[in-house]
Amino acid sequence: MNKTSIVAALAAVLSLGAARAEAAEAKSGMTPFIPPPPAGWSSPTPPNETEDENGMEPSVSIGYGPDKPGERGLLYIILTHPSPHDMPSRFQSPRPLGPSPFAPQLVVSHVKVNELDAYLTYDANEQGGVLQMRVGRVLVGIQGGATTTDQIVAFARSIDTARLQKY
């Protein structure tokens, strides 16, 4: 390898490092708001954060599962910062409560999460559900699989909503 090739390779490496640093700065900054996993649960991967780029809304998400081999369960959380004009369409409030007229096994209930309104749609047959709430400018979605309503709500309550409201 000659000197010119070495200089070109070094320049390429430095350029790649600068691009990575620039991309890291462009992240949404919501990763610190992701709550830790419940006791005995973990994630094999770090949070996935998307930038506010090309029409994509900034968001961060992660899924947690039980550490015990063979034990079922999933808690997946996503924090999204939609554009202001999308906010009303994304979070209708108040929502109709009770069994869904289209799928009676899905029951919608109103719950309080750290003094904020949240809606939990739960399927007792499948032991899973989705909790949705608005925290300031951020929409929070939590999906639970092979979990109870208490587990989903407790996980939601572990979010530092006071700090997230200031985002």
Domain ranges of the chain: 29-164
For 109-156, the pLDDT digits (tens) are 999 999 999 999 999 899 999 999 999 989 999 999 999 999 999 999
- Mean pLDDT, the chain, as a whole number? 83
Q: How many CB atoms lie within 10 A of CB 81?
A: 19
Nearest in space to 82 (alpha carbons), one of 162, 130, 158, 141: 141
Structure confidence at residue 95 (pLDDT): 79
- Is CATH 3.40.1000 the classification given to domain 29-164? yes
Burial class (CB in 10 A: 0-12, 13-18, 19+), 141: middle
Residues composing the chain: 167
